[in-house]
Structures are given as C-alpha cells and as structure tokens.
Amino acid sequence: MVVDRSPRLDHVFHALAHPARRAIIRQLSGGERNLTELAAPLKMTFPAATKHVRVLEGAKLVRRRVVGREHLCRLDAQPLKEAMLWTESFRQSWEARFEELDSLLDEMKADEQARARRR
Amino acid sequence: MKKPLQVSTPTDTTIVLTRAFDAPRRLVWEATFTPELMRRWMLPPPGFTMTTCRCVLRAGGELEVAWKSDEADPAMTLRGVFTEVIPHERAVHTETMALGSGQVVGSLVEQHEFFEEGGVTTMRITQTYDSKEARDGALASGMDEGMEACYQQLDGVLG
C-alpha cells in the first residue's frame, strides 16, 4: 500500500516544486478559475500557464472542465492531504520522542542545579 | 521557547530532522547517547518494548538496540557502528534495522550535529539512505497508524 502510493506522491511533490504552480493552487483555493484568470497574476503567457496547469492535472491536484470556450479549473486537495500526511506521521513519531527528551533534559538540568547547590 | 521539529528532504536519499532543546549541548549529547537515558526517549513502535540498549560512543564503537513484542523476542533490532565521534559536537554511525527473523528492513547512515546558542541546543540529524525507495519507505513508515487522526486534523487545516 505504501509502495503503491509512492509514485503518485512523486507527482504531487514534483507538482508542488514550482512557485508558479503553488501560486495556481493558492488561487484555486479561492474557488474555480478559468485559465485566463490563472495566467494573469503569474505574468505568464497563456501557453506557459497551461503547461503548469497540466502538471497539476497530472498530479490530480487540479481538475479541468470545459464549458463552451472556457477551461475551468478547480482544486482537488485530496492528494495534497496525502502528501502532507505522509511526512506528517514521520514527523509526529519523532516529535513524540523529542518531547520525552525535553522532559528528560529538564530532569537532568534540575539534578545538576540541585548538586551545585549542595556543594 | 517551543520550536517545532522540522523535517526536510534536501536530496532524494536524505531526511534531515532539526529540533531545538532548552538545555546545554553537553546534556543533550549525554541524553542522546547514554543507554539508560536512551531508554527514556527512544519510544518503540506501538506494541514493542525495548529489551537491549548498548551504545559505545567512540569511533568503531557499537550501537545495539533490540525490541520485543508479544509475538517475538527480538521482534526488531537496530545495529550499527560509530564511524566518527567528536564529543558534544558530532557523531556519525551506521544503522541496520532488521526483523526478529534477521531479515534486514533497511540501512542508513545517521549523523547527529549539536549547536548551542544561549543555553539552547539545536540538534540536527541527517539520515542518509541507500536509495530513494528506502528513504521514501522510512518517511512513509507509521503512515497507517494514526492516519485517521491525521486526516481529521488536516481536514481542519485544509477546510
């Protein structure tokens, strides 16, 4: 299951690795937009913006539907959730250890101070 | 002074963990590599109990940790050798994780670095795996457990 998931996550991470694509995701978090609307704030040509949208589509982060002559894009956050979750559980298991280390260090500091006072 | 743990993947085969501790470097070093103290913070996977913890902190010194479960003893082992030890600054060791059966599940090189500033110590752990697949596998470990809890948390974040 974990192994099957990995190639898809590669797509997601690759898709997120470009600032223009992250900007597109931010825009789409506000709702459905057409390609012209997406291209405008990026100061990019229409074909260049389309290329980035296609990478996002490949990672299944963006879905596109055609209405008349308009290409409407919307965000699908599910793969994003999985990608965050993937590293988040690793992070949490280490954080749990480091929180134990925090309390251990507090005890060690208190012990040292107590010893110093006795001297 | 709560600084969250940072996890990054600067290359295809590495994971870097960075975390600050409110203690001098000397104590963080001691807590990280003293067997009786390692037992306190090296939390085992759910259902596992640590049975062995040895750590000979010098170049060539061995690291050995073993865990048991209800089904097997040992259920999992970690074995490695220190290749570099600069007290309170830097330690590098190899690490091979194996199942109780002896089947190797992964090996890596782990480097610990310690930086102290104003009584706060930042520990940076760099794990270097044999391959991208091994690295990805390590990152994904534990993904199943607590998955539901994480989803609920993320639902809140992502709306």
Tell me the nearest-neighbour CA distance from B72 into chain A, angstroms: 23
Would the CB atoms of A96 and B43 count as touching at under 8 Å?
Answer: yes
- The tokens describing B100, both together, are 């109780």
The amino acid at B145: E
E strands in chain A: 33-34, 62-67, 70-75
Return the H-helix or E-strand segment holding A110: helix A78-118
Provide the 8-state DSSP code for B130: S
Dist. CA B18–CA B89, nearest whole Å: 15
The amino acid at B99: L
Per-residue pLDDT band for B149 (boundaries 50, 70, 90) equals very low
Q: What is the mean pLDDT of chain A?
A: 85
Residue B124: other Cβ atoms inside 10 A: 15
pTM: 0.69
Provide the 8-state DSSP code for A57: H
Q: How many helices (H) and strands (E) does chain A have?
A: 5, 3
- The tokens describing B147, both together, are 């998955």
Per-residue pLDDT band for B142 (boundaries 50, 70, 90) equals low
Coil/strand/helix, residue B68: strand
Q: Does residue B148 have a pLDDT over 50? A: no
Coil/strand/helix, residue B73: coil
Q: Does residue B124 have a pLDDT over 90? A: yes
Distance separating the N- and C-terminal Cα atoms of chain A: 59
- B interface test, pick of A94, A106, A109 with most B CB neighbours within 10 Å: A94
Per-residue pLDDT, averaged over A89-108, amounts to 92
Question: Any residues with CB less than 8 A from the CB of B111 and at least 6 apart, and which?
Answer: B90, B91, B92, B125, B126, B127, B128
- The tokens describing A35, both together, are 């390609």
Per-residue pLDDT band for A15 (boundaries 50, 70, 90) equals confident
Q: pLDDT tens across B6-58, in order?
A: 888 899 899 999 999 999 999 999 999 999 999 999 988 778 899 999 999 99
Q: Are strands B104-117 and B90-99 parallel, antiparallel or unpaired?
A: antiparallel
A12, A82 contact by CB (below 8 A): yes
| Residues of chain B in Cβ contact (below 8 Å) with chain A | 4-5, 7, 9, 15, 17, 19, 21-23, 27-28, 30-32, 37, 40-43, 133, 136-147, 150-151, 154-155, 158
Least confident of A5-19, B97-111, B145-159: B145-159
A51: nearest Cα among A20, A25, A11: A20
Q: pLDDT tens across A65-87, in order?
A: 999 999 999 988 777 777 776 67
Dist. CA B65–CA B78, nearest whole Å: 5
Question: Any residues with CB less than 8 A from the CB of A57 and at least 6 apart, and which?
Answer: A63, A64
